[in-house]
Structure 1
């Protein structure tokens, strides 16, 4: 196998199949920008592309690397530096309260119970949701649950944050609040963010945008140009 690229996120000769069906074909892609957005129709391959970044999906052919580390051969190391937030917080919240969920994500890195609890509280505070710490997760709004899901990932201090349509279940106010906090934290901590979204206003705030359709990247470049291409292709 060819040696992985040393910097950023690299896709080389990547193809992903489900049986005989080709889900994604990315011959050559290098991502080094701080804010990247991925747009395109449902079922086009956005989620598969994102899940390749931290090894949730393995390529059938080719390889994906993160800062030179192969997502299959060095998957554990990649996942330690790459956090993933799903569109539905139910996929990430399993404990009775937000505090316990964040503590759970820290159980391997912080063995001491008191230090783990303090770190979890700091993370909730940083996101502005410390008052939710002891609430029942089932009683929280969708927006609050998504912020807690984000906290479980950010508590591990990832260098890369992958967000798969994180505002799909949120109303306009909560979606804006979520996006603002992600953007602020990215700037404060130097976190690279890769976000799949249908929100074209959000997509436009990136440094680079990819348009994925039918398992292929059909446009890649400045957000305004790629969004214009998407609008043109989507026009009825």
Structure 2
């Protein structure tokens, strides 16, 4: 069995101008399913983006399986895939099949091999029938699954989901999460999800509450969600 990825924050601070975005003195993440909750602007997205090098720490360092996210950014990004809340940020080609193939352009030189791998990934997600459709004609739920495919085709060890169900209705949100959970169990992928959906947040091994740029609670989902509800009471 593949071990869960090891993610470590050491004396991390992220500053924009004179504003502190995030401060994490020390943090280790090893659980298979982690959720991150908290108010808008609290630092959830910044935390996820630090893990695959989309954001670099102003001070301190973040490592993934021993690789510094700044010094070894390319290797880290191959290991830690990021899915944005809006699939439009990731779908740039005319069709889903071409978008998934695009993800493989650097690592798979042979075009027929790229097509075969992309087709297999879409099939595993149950969306092979969308392969040659126009991406612009897909529903939000379908687009989010295609965006997921563009990341999963690279076989990451870590899947970072930033508000993945924000644009989805209840049925598509449920389908998306079920797909992610099934893949996580089957392929032993560590999933870290930033979300406002507290039902989704509860489906984890560990939950972090990020507020005001700091982790104010960390532990079992039920306890951390309870703390967040208390903090949110007006």
- State the TM-score, normalized to the length of structure 1: 0.97
List aligned pairs for 1:119-134, cutoff 5 A: 119-134=117-132
Question: CA deviation digits over 1:150-193, x for unaligned, max 9?
Answer: 00000000000000001100001000000000000000000000
Alignment partners' CA distance in 2, 1:206 and 1:161: 14
* 1:114 aligns with one of 112, 115, 133: 112
Structure 2 counterpart SS, 1:58: coil
Aligned to 2:228: 230
Which ranges in structure 1 are unaligned for 5 or more consecutive residues? 1-6
* 2:65 aligns with one of 57, 61, 67: 67
Structure 2 counterpart SS, 1:108: coil
Task: Give structure 1 regions of 4+ aligned residues with deviation exceeding 6 angstroms.
Answer: none
Aligned to 2:188: 190
Alignment partners' CA distance in 2, 1:134 and 1:84: 24
Alignment partners' CA distance in 1, 2:214 and 2:29: 16
Question: CA deviation digits over 1:50-108, x for unaligned, max 9?
Answer: 00000000000000000100000011110111100000000000000000000000111
RMSD: 0.6
List aligned pairs for 1:200-215, cutoff 5 A: 200-215=198-213
Alignment partners' CA distance in 2, 1:75 and 1:68: 12
Alignment partners' CA distance in 1, 2:144 and 2:133: 14
Asked whether 1:179 is paired with 2:177, we answer yes
Aligned to 2:51: 53
Question: Following TM superposition, by how much is the alpha carbon of 1:235 offset from its aligned partner in structure 2, in angstroms?
Answer: 1.1
Asked whether 1:29 is paired with 2:33, we answer no
Which ranges in structure 2 are unaligned for 5 or more consecutive residues? none
Aligned to 1:3: none
Question: CA deviation digits over 1:108-158, x for unaligned, max 9?
Answer: 111111111011000000000000000000000000000000000000000
Aligned to 2:16: 18
Question: Following TM superposition, by how much is the alpha carbon of 1:201 offset from its aligned partner in structure 2, in angstroms?
Answer: 0.8
Report the count of equivalent residues: 230
Structure 1 counterpart SS, 2:49: helix
Structure 2 counterpart SS, 1:188: helix
* 2:78 aligns with one of 77, 80, 89: 80
